[in-house]
Amino acid sequence: MTASLVFLFTSGWISAVAIALLWAITLIVARRSPEPRSTFVNLAPNAISGSALLAAFGLAMRQTQVLWLALLLAISLVAFLIDLRIRLAAQDSGLRRRTD
């Protein structure tokens, strides 16, 4: 058991397992919502950001080139910013300043 866990982490395969689990949960949550397509569109940037971070972790464990890590981290940042914009747009009316 311990040898298997060590192999999963040192080989970087743990990130592939985590990415598969992340997307499975995202799809399950989207399918169970009243509006599956809309929910998936709202959850996708967050899942993409997490996937890019997990992939960067897995490649870092395999000591890959820094350029690939930087690219994955940049993808994660862009996806995070898109996710943030979606979340703030949903709260837009509550964030406006009332001056009357």
15-54 residue pLDDT tens: 999 999 999 999 999 999 999 999 999 999 999 999 999 9
**Residue the block writes with tokens 């747009």:** 89
Provide the percentage of residues in the chain whose pLDDT is more than 70. 92
pLDDT at 1: 74
CA distance 58 to 7: 12
CA distance 67 to 2: 32
63, 83 Cβ separation under 8 angstroms: no
Residue 97 has pLDDT above 80, yes or no: no
Residues 6+ apart with CB under 8 A from 46: 79, 80, 83
User: 49 vs 23, 46, 68, 82, 83, CA distance in Å?
Assistant: 11, 5, 15, 10, 9
Could you say which DSSP state residue 63 is in?
A: T
Structure tokens at 94: 């509550």
pLDDT at 99: 64
Please tell me the pTM assigned to this model. 0.83
